[in-house]
Amino acid sequence: MKWLIGGFSHETNTFSSVHTGLPAFRAHTYATGEDAARATRGTGTGMGGFIDAIERRGDAFVPTIAAAATPSGLVTEDAFSDIAGHIVEGARRHRDIDGILLALHGAMVAEGIDDGEGELLARLRAVVGSDLPIVATLDLHSHLTRQMLDCATVLIGYQKYPHTDIYERGVEAAELIARVATGQVHPAWALEKPPLIPPCATCHTEAGLYRDMWEVALRPDRPASIISTSLFAGFPYADVPELGFGVLVYADGDETAAAGEAAALRDMAWGRRSEFVYRPRPVEEAVRQALASARKPVVIPDIADNPGGGGANDSVEILRALIAQGAHSAAVAAIYDPAVVAHGKSAGVGARIAVSLGAKTDALHGEPLAVEGTVRTISDGRYQYKGAMTRGAWANMGASIVLDIDGILVIVCSERLQQRDPEVFRACGIVPEEMDVLVVKSAVHFRAAFAPLDGCIIEADGPGLTSLDLRPFPFARIQRPIFPLDDM
């Protein structure tokens, strides 16, 4: 059999003023045709999972594109047309395919398009007709819209947060599509969307409500007809009508089983919704606790400025508190500030420079910080993920320097990127195990690759576009009331 495959992923923070054009995709992931297969084969990505499962079966595939960008504002019309066009054109040219496998996100908003994935799937349906199987993997933070559901045969969400099962869901999708195409299963779906928008960090799957829900969803004695269950958390930083939590269940020719299962999981989430209320910890308090901790290293995630959710990547508020409280063994990954990188590169390793660092993107990520420091290293900012999430794939934070501010080692980078793997420190000549405090621009994903360091985690809530306090965000188009924005 023969499959068309493609990957198009962006998590869009509609409150960000940084629009996402093709250069942002090229800086992260953008490979077409056979290059897309070369870039993803053997990696822990959804496309990597498709390829392994297809090749194990001895089937053929046509790679179209692998494209992803760091979360930020609206995807530009150009970028959307270009990337979606590669996939749609692939379907138009290869009429002998048995189905289409897509690695998507589910929270992409493009200029003029609220539902990027739904639009892509609709364009594909217009080319291939209503019968060809289309199976897509989606991020746990998908909005899951009615249009996506209507246009796809099956949608499969990640089960883990940190997303350590992206590859496994890709394999699952590639195995399922063959069973659908040969008529062995007939997926029937049920969707429940109670009015919930959980802040991201309340949904990690290491403990708490989300872990408990997954235990119920995947229990060994669930109805045998169930093919797939997804518990979508939604992505809170998008002002789109269908934003929110969703339970999606597919059962083999059995709508009743799917509906019963979805309703039970909806009731569980709604009944325990108070666990989605997040209690913030101010930056100064987090830093004080970190410096007093006996267990090292302490990892402080800068939850509110997470470029993995559309943060500007340039808040320096935790660094400001580290300096103010006299830290001398800390490393920060990373502050986005291309001007400071250029200054440091031209000054050279060993030079002492005085700069105004960070907070240049907008007025939502604190104030710049006047600092003096010594340039310790200069690098190209590329490193390979070695943790359980997307292992083997390459990260690119652009040209980078390490600025040593009296023992606080600050990585300054020139591409926005969530820092969720300790390899970022090693790539810049920093030994993370030897530091008392590590600051990362990440909310939850860092937990996977930092676990082997055996330190402790103290979350800090500074200013930023990924704050877990959703109340200040100017939502105008979402359905109200919705919990926890509204009392329900």
Residues found near Zn ion in the complex (CB under 5 A): 139, 141
* Residue listed under structure tokens 């800068």: 302
Q: What Cα–Cα distance (Å) separates residue 449 from each residue in 17, 294, 370, 418?
A: 30, 21, 32, 13
CB closer to Zn ion, 196 vs 341: 196
Least Å distance between CB 309 and Zn ion? 8
CB closer to Zn ion, 10 vs 141: 141
Ranked by CB distance to Zn ion, the top (closest) residue is 141
CB closer to Zn ion, 63 vs 162: 162
Least Å distance between CB 102 and Zn ion? 16
Least Å distance between CB 444 and Zn ion? 8
Amino acid letter at 222? R
Cα 134–135–139 angle (5° rounding)?
Answer: 135
CB closer to Zn ion, 164 vs 400: 164
CB closer to Zn ion, 145 vs 400: 145
Q: What Cα–Cα distance (Å) separates residue 287 from each residue in 143, 296, 455?
A: 34, 13, 15
Which backbone phi and psi does 136 adopt, to 5 degrees?
-130, 145
Least Å distance between CB 442 and Zn ion? 11
CB closer to Zn ion, 114 vs 139: 139
CB closer to Zn ion, 139 vs 314: 139
Least Å distance between CB 328 and Zn ion? 35
Least Å distance between CB 154 and Zn ion? 19
Least Å distance between CB 8 and Zn ion? 15
